[in-house]
Chains A and B, each alone.
Chain A
Amino acid sequence: MRELCREFFQRLAAVFRRRHLEDDLDAELRSHLEMAVEMNLGKGMTPEDARRKALRNFGGVDQIKESFRDQRGVPMIETFLQDVRFGLRMLRRSPGFSLLAILCLTLGIGSNAAVFSWIEGILLRPFPMVAGQDRMMAITGTDRGVAGAAGEATDMSWPDLIDLQKNCKMFDWFIVDRITGTTLSIGNRAEVATGSVVSSNYFDALGIRPFLGRGFEPEEDYGRNAHPVTVISYQMWKDRFHSDPGIVGKTQMMNGMPHTIVGVAPEGFQGTFVGWAMQFWVPVSMQEKFDSSQPGYKLEDRGAHWIEGFVRLKPEVSAQQAQQEISTIAKRLEADYPATNRGRGVKLFRLWETPFNNAGTLLPTLGIAVAVVVFVLLIVCANVSNLLLVRALGRQHEMAVRLAVGAGRGRLVRQLVTEGLILATLATAGGLLVAHWCRNLLVLLLNRSPLMILPGEIDWRVVALTAGSCLVATLLFAIVPAMLASKIDLVSALKTEAAGSVGGVRKANVRSSLVLVQVALSFVLVVATGLLLRSLLLMRDTNPGFSTKEILVTGIDFTGAGYDKQRTRNFEDQLIDRLQAVPGVVSAVFARKIPFTYRAYSSAPIAVDGYIPAPDELPTVDYNEVGPAYFATMGIPLVSGREFTSDDNETALPVAIVNKTMAARYWRGQNPIGSRLQVNGRWLHVVGIAETAKYRSLREAPLPFFYVPMRQSAMGMGLTIRTSLDHETMSKALVREVHALDANLALGELIPMQEEINLSTGTQRAAVLMLAAFGSVAVFLAAIGLYGVMSYVVSQRTREVGLRMALGATPSDLLRLVMSHGLALTAGGVILGTAVALSSTRLLGYLLYRLSPRDPLAFGAAFVVMIVVGLAASFLPAWRAVRTDPVSALRS
């Protein structure tokens, strides 16, 4: 066995040293013959006899050489190389064809490579430098208490996480990774930075060794704000601290507290949040300082839910086993701590389903992207196949000659497929380049902040997959034309110089079916584009329940700047007064959260006078803390009762306004105004009912929701301004007013509310753009294919056309004749496409909004598009048929 391996490698090596080995062989054989001749001469033969005898004893020199060569190299590879050389020559001879085919294939293979790289870089292995991502899963809590939101992901509490960690055997580790932010004032520049609250094992678990200093120590998981330390990212170290080599040990103000910088993460490590690069990390003991939404020390509070994180399974543990173990422990916790854990579970998610970062939101879009690029590749293959068939006509004579001099049919097929492979290989190289250029395209498609990072990753897996799609594509587009091209009736092919008469019918049929496939596939893409576009428009038309015109929103980071509650309130009051004095400003109000922004709403278990929850129900409702005149500013109509005023302050009676959905669910038709609602152990008096609005996304079902006056709870940082001023003027006025009060505050960008809503439909938008782009390319390719086939049909039927004209057919008859042929092809494709579309548009699932996957309007529009394209593509060939000169057509 070892000898055979050795032999193979020797042979392989020989393929590349052919010239040298050939000379060697010549020299050796020559020396053999010379020695033989010499010996024979010595025996007294004449030189002539001596030579003849030597040669006779030797056997046929050329046969020996040939069998020597077979033994020396790898015949298959050598033939292949020979085919490649010949193929390259042939492709160079028709550069127009080659370029067109390569461009088409580059489009097909490149779009596949780009989507593969996105999936690799965003869904499968999203975290650069992190080891063992295959076994990593996201972990969050679930809450079944709220009816209608069954299994919805929520956060976990620290004591629960610690108990899971202690009791689970199937995991390498659990880490906490909760996104947060701060304002960094370095020099005279205040900027918002994004970071993470992480458990102390974070860096060790992920296998990240700090570039400078250290990671976190176990004791930094404990104590209330006891360990003000931070690890900063390499980028931040470089940009903000000018690559200061002595950075470790220095302090930086973060959220009003000096933090010691203990380490710098290595270059390239961006944390573990899909979509954003983290700039700093702090240990969980600092959680309170970095959580502006829910004040309080939460490391000992099982009811405080704030944790998102990751786990890594031990090798050989399946996701199912892991979930089982974790659910068992969660059940036990539920039994042990019913007051806080009733109805709560813990759920593991694959990285690409992670609910708390951008992976989960992008999954459906990327799923559709895969389907789309596979379609595009198929369409491109059909197109190139068609091109190859056309070219085969031109090469019929060549094929015939090669067959005549003894090439086997298999040999010809191999030659043609090799040529296809050359095209596909060049296209693959181009495609990978395209994928490389497109690696950051997704953020643009999503219309998200340009600071967001969703990079494609081209690693060996992506390259391998792309190479695989190259091979599959080659088989798809090259085999059939090769088979047909090599099937030639030798005698007639050699006799007639004119190409195209032999096997023409079959080729025309194959080409027609290729066009049929192209039309069908592009029809499906057009239908999908239509469906998604309709969804997007429907979504944009959805009433969010508040006004979107003349409303601008922004955020001010008080926590990050170290403001306490009192200082924040004073600032907010002053700023609102100042803003309302600006001419053109109708009103302005602070709230804890602006609808549709990333931050989470406050959420709390509630109790309602007279409402008895089911045994396993822990009613939990989201709420927002809002300032006076919030409803007027936002334009949320009140059904009854009153709005919050500045009198609803710390000393007044605690009040709340509930939305209609909540009133219906928990008061069951009774009027809630005047009754009580308990939140976090405090009784609030309901003073008003508001219309149900949209809170997180346009597509959400009506949610129970309530509002409390900001004065009576947490601080707010979301500023809403209703104004008739344009965006730019208002931005300037706002910056002026804020900085007049405090120049050290970092102000977020002022964004029109409509834009904020549009951001939330980014995934839909991306899907629509992608489908529209690829759909039009597909339709274009199909049109070219149809045009090609129709032109061919017309050229084949010149005589017939001439005859018909001679017999009195009018131009419009001929036009109809040819056009109806083209339309028949298109219609066939559309019927096929309809069948495919009807059974597959369900896959759009989540991205469809209030729309049947069989929406007749989308199908109808696609139908019209394809028919128009079909007519356009067959018109030119038909016109050419009409212009035929009957005399010359009949004579030819």
Chain B
Amino acid sequence: MPSSKAEVLQGTLDLLVLRTLDAMGPMHGFGIALRIQQISEDLLQLNQGTLYPALLRLQQRGWVASKWGVSENNRKAKFYSLTRAGRKQLEEEVESWGRMSAAINRVLRTS
């Protein structure tokens, strides 16, 4: 049992965002941040702001699309959604994450 919150690993934030959008459909930045914190049961420490450069990067690569819309509380917000390319990318990343964590686990167990 970890005693403190874990920093979000470099490079894994993209995966978390893609997965969240895949599960929840179009969401705004704040929603994505809340969702990641809830699901990880607050174990992951996330500076919410760092989401934005990540979202921009995903957009630039064509994996998510963005559109201004109106939030549930009637507030103007930018909504992000997964594109087809993004869905494919998510599958690849999930798979490679699985392989990687399995490998790491194996190394940890044997040594």
A residues sitting closer than 8 Å to B (CB atoms) are 3-4, 6-7, 10-11, 24-25, 27-29, 31-32, 34-36, 38-39, 57-61, 63-64, 67-68, 70-72
Contact = CB atoms under 8 A, between A and B. Distances in A.
Contacts of A57: 33, 47-48
Q: Which 9 pairs of residues, A with B, have the shortest CB-CB distance? A: A59-B47, A64-B49, A59-B49, A3-B61, A7-B60, A10-B60, A71-B53, A35-B30, A58-B49
Contacts of B78: 24, 27-28, 31
Interface in B4-29: 28-29
Contacts of A72: 56
Contacts of A59: 47-50
B20 to A, nearest CB: 15
23 contacts: A3-B61, A6-B61, A10-B59, A27-B76, A28-B78, A29-B49, A29-B52, A31-B30, A31-B75, A31-B76, A32-B33, A32-B77, A35-B28, A35-B30, A38-B73, A57-B48, A59-B48, A64-B50, A67-B50, A68-B52, A68-B56, A71-B53, A71-B60
Contacts of A7: 57, 60-61
A27 B52 CA distance: 12
A797 B77 CA distance: 70
Nearest to A59: B47
Contacts of A58: 47-49
B77 A31 contact: yes
Contacts, number: 77
Contacts of A71: 53, 56-57, 60
A67 B53 contact: yes
B38 interface: no
A3 B62 contact: yes
B71 interface: yes
Nearest to B37: A57
Interface size bracket, B side: 20 to 34
Contacts of A64: 47, 49-50, 52-53
Interface of B: 28-30, 33-34, 47-50, 52-53, 56-57, 59-63, 71, 73, 75-78
B52 A36 contact: no
A39 to B, nearest CB: 8
Contacts of B53: 64, 67-68, 70-71
A57 B42 CA distance: 12
A4 B73 CA distance: 37
Given A6-B60, A35-B77, A64-B53, 10 more contacts: A6-B61, A7-B61, A27-B78, A31-B30, A58-B47, A59-B47, A61-B49, A63-B49, A68-B52, A71-B56
Nearest to B45: A57
A7 B62 CA distance: 8
B34 to A, nearest CB: 8
A528 to B, nearest CB: 57
Contacts of B71: 31, 35
Q: Looking at B34, B52, B63, B73, which has the most chain A CB atoms within 10 Å of its CB? A: B52
A10 B71 CA distance: 27
A29 B62 CA distance: 22
A398 B29 CA distance: 44
Contacts of A6: 60-62
Given A60-B49, A68-B56, A34 B62 contact: no
Given A6-B62, A71-B53, A35 B73 contact: yes
B35 to A, nearest CB: 13
Nearest to B72: A35
B43 to A, nearest CB: 15
Contacts of A4: 61
Nearest to B62: A6
B58 to A, nearest CB: 10
Given A3-B62, A59-B48, A59-B49, A32 B56 contact: no
Contacts of B77: 28, 31-32, 35
Q: Looking at B30, B49, B73, which has the most chain A CB atoms within 10 Å of its CB? A: B49
A17 to B, nearest CB: 13
Q: Looking at B34, B56, B57, B76, which has the most chain A CB atoms within 10 Å of its CB? A: B56
A71 B54 CA distance: 9
